[in-house]
Structure 1
Amino acid sequence: MRGVTFTAVHVLARILLGVAVVEAPLHSTVWRTIAIAVVVLIALVWGGYDGIRDARANPDPDDYEDLTVRWLKAGLLAGVVSGLICWILGSTVLAGIGQASFFVELIAGASFTALLVFVPAFVGAAIGRWLIRREQNKNAPEDDWSVHTDHHAEAAQ
């Protein structure tokens, strides 16, 4: 699901980027930055949602789902498939899409896309889990050890 969605997001971003660069070539850096930012933001938010959902479902951090591998697979699928689709589109229909050679698209382009999906999603998941743990720790009663050490700290003063 994640890989297919990010394949569509990346292909759409590349198509819109190609159209924008053809229409306003002097602003190509701005358009590229916006396209990358959109992909990164979507991955960050979705990864954060996964992290929040996982932390709520598993009170013990040892029971967390393996979101790292899940997002790595999604990034790799999105990279390879979107690279192939963009190469086909650039070779046949949209000459302005800015595709490279077939092997460059499937190796370098796919790697870059995989990182654009994986890294922000991983960071988002970590932040989501951290936010839930922080919320749970604020609401949790103090355990005997913290009360015991606080009592000794007060007595030492």
Structure 2
Amino acid sequence: MTAWVLRATVFGALVVGLRLLLGFAMATAPTYGIVWRTACLVLIVGAAAAWGLRDGRAADGTDLTVRWMSAGAVAGIGSGAVCWLLDQVPGIALGDSGALFELTSAAAFILLLIFLPALAGIGYGRFRARKAAETAPAVGATQLAPA
């Protein structure tokens, strides 16, 4: 499976799952809406940053920008379409947003929620990998023991 397809699928499913949980939580305890929304936001941003950090440490100079941009775009559009379809089902309340909103504005927001933290994680991961490579002794280097 292509690397960006895996990321798009995982993050699209994460967004849909969190929106379903958020809809249920808002229906049962609407006074805690800011807590539920913040928790969902932190989960998405944290997951993207953590996966980006992992990618940054593992990549050997490969460009990960297009990979994460594609994953964020597909996850945003896909999750928007699925959430709009789920919102049409009676008993599932996801905010009554229209298809145009879900496929444009919400998709762009999800794209940014995935793309920007992932790039920050990639940058930090590459920085950490570079620092670890600088401090590690060279392979095959001999150390002379004092006599």
The TM-score with structure 2 as length reference comes to: 0.86
Consecutive unaligned residues in structure 2, runs of 5 or more:
1-5, 139-147
What is the match of residue 143 of structure 2? none
Over aligned residue pairs, what C-alpha RMSD do you find? 1.2
Richer in helix (by share): 1
Report the residue type matching 1:22 in the other structure: A
The TM-score with structure 1 as length reference comes to: 0.81
Instruction: Please list, as runs of the form range in 1=range in 2, the aligned pairs for 1:1-157 lying within 5 A after superposition.
Output: 1-54=6-59, 58=60, 64-139=61-136
Q: Which has the larger radius of gyration?
A: 1
Consecutive unaligned residues in structure 1, runs of 5 or more:
59-63, 142-157
Mapped partners of 1:16, 1:39: distance in 2: 13
What is the deviation of 1:30? 0.8
| Same amino acid, percent of matched pairs | 38
Residues 48, 126 of structure 1: 8 Å contact kept: yes
Residues 52, 128 of structure 1: 8 Å contact kept: yes
Question: Alignment length, in residue pairs?
Answer: 133
What is the deviation of 1:95? 3.7
Shift in CA distance, 94/49, structure 1 to aligned 2, threshold 3 Å: farther
Deviations 1:57-102 (A, max 9, x none): x3xxxxx111111000000000000000000001124542114111
| Poorly superposed stretches of 4+, deviation over 3 Å | none
